[in-house]
Homo-oligomer: A and B are copies of this chain.
Amino acid sequence: MKSKILKELKNADDYISGQQLCERLGVSRTAVWKHIKALRAEGYEIDSVTNKGYKLMMEPDLLTKEEVASCLHTKWLGKDLYCYETMDSTNLEIRRLAEAGASHGTVAITEEQTMGKGRRGRSWLAEAGAGIAMSFLLKPQIEAQNSSMLTLVTALAVNEAICETTGIRAKIKWPNDIIVNGKKICGILTEMSLQMDEINYIVVGLGINVNIDHFPEDLSDKATSLQIEGGRKIKRAPLAAKVLECFEKYYDMFLKTEDLSMLQDEYNKLLVHTDQKIKVVRGSKEEIFLSRGINHRGELLVEDEDGKVSEVSSGEVSVRGILGYV
């Protein structure tokens, strides 16, 4: 009910009367008042004027369930929504929830992440108030070998959500990083539980650097944040909700063909390094290729010196730009 009242307050252009709130939500004046009081205690500034009603003057930047749910316009993703002040890792939490029977579309978000992980075990921490650490549970009826494409689907969703929410035009570094001005702003980590050849479930996790005003020296040429790039603080709950909304859209398009046929062109438009030299690292071996964008399976097409084009899949290689840091 608290999140419903918050949603009404956010959607109202002006003051909304207590009576209207009661009628729309089917609760008593006392209940409305109780929830208004609770919202104020969480940091919401709500003006109340006799004969006019309530108006939301200022919202705190919180990733609470009320805040995220009040922005959420999805069909199925995030209907089960868990928001935490602190958590070891949202991917781990979704895996635990999955093992306890959680449904397709369950979402976990945390203000602070103490044991977050990126690819190859690199750490991806989140400080309270500064970022979005979010994971969601998928139980798709797809072939296991097609699941790695979901990382690319997520990259598209994050990119679009960032653009719509902040106006910042980010790029994608294949397969799973979102970058702005050559620096990383978001990482995506997909995990999967398999039974022989069949998918039990998939966990998609992502971390976005939002309101961080500077990075330590050793990171400042590799990482950036939406605040640094946009020059202003960004409300995180609407951004998190928009990522989920965009994911639903792109996921539907992925499911139609169980590949990236319908998303390949859009992904390639956002891809960095296209037609440029990249270094492909396979174990201890490094090779230089020209990057030629992804195919419909999400593999990166690379061209060697003799003009021969081959595919590399995200499992076997790591790719680095020759110039710059990404």
For residue A117, which residues in chain B have a CB less than 8 angstroms away from its CB? 195
Q: Is A197 an interface residue (CB 8 A)?
A: yes
What B residues does A190 contact at CB under 8 A? 195-196
- Structural contact, B193 and A193, CB atoms closer than 8 A: yes
Whether A96 sits at the interface, judged by CB under 8 Å, is yes
21 pairs, A vs B, C-beta closer than 8 Å: A95-B99, A95-B193, A96-B96, A96-B100, A119-B195, A119-B196, A120-B196, A121-B198, A148-B196, A151-B196, A189-B196, A190-B195, A191-B193, A191-B194, A191-B196, A191-B200, A192-B193, A192-B194, A193-B193, A196-B315, A197-B314
Whether, in the assembled complex, A312 has its beta carbon less than 8 Å from a beta carbon of chain B, the answer is: no
Is the C-beta of A125 less than 8 angstroms from some C-beta in chain B? no
- List residues of A (166-204) whose CB comes within 8 Å of B's CBs: 176, 189-198, 200
Give the residue of B119, B144, B195, B315 whose beta carbon is less than 8 angstroms from that of A189: B195
Q: Is the CB of B316 within 8 A of A197?
A: yes
**CA–CA, A189 and B198, complex, Å:** 11
Chain B residue numbers with a CB within 8 Å of A314 are 196-197
Knowing A99-B95, A193-B191 touch, does A120 contact B316 (C-beta < 8 A)? no
For chain A residues 268-318, which have a beta carbon within 8 Å of chain B?
314-316
Residue of A96, A189, A192 contacting most chain B CB atoms (<10 Å): A192
Q: Which residue of B lies closest to A147 (CB)?
A: B194
The 6 A-B pairs at the shortest CB distance, nearest first, are namely A197-B315, A192-B194, A191-B195, A96-B99, A193-B193, A99-B99
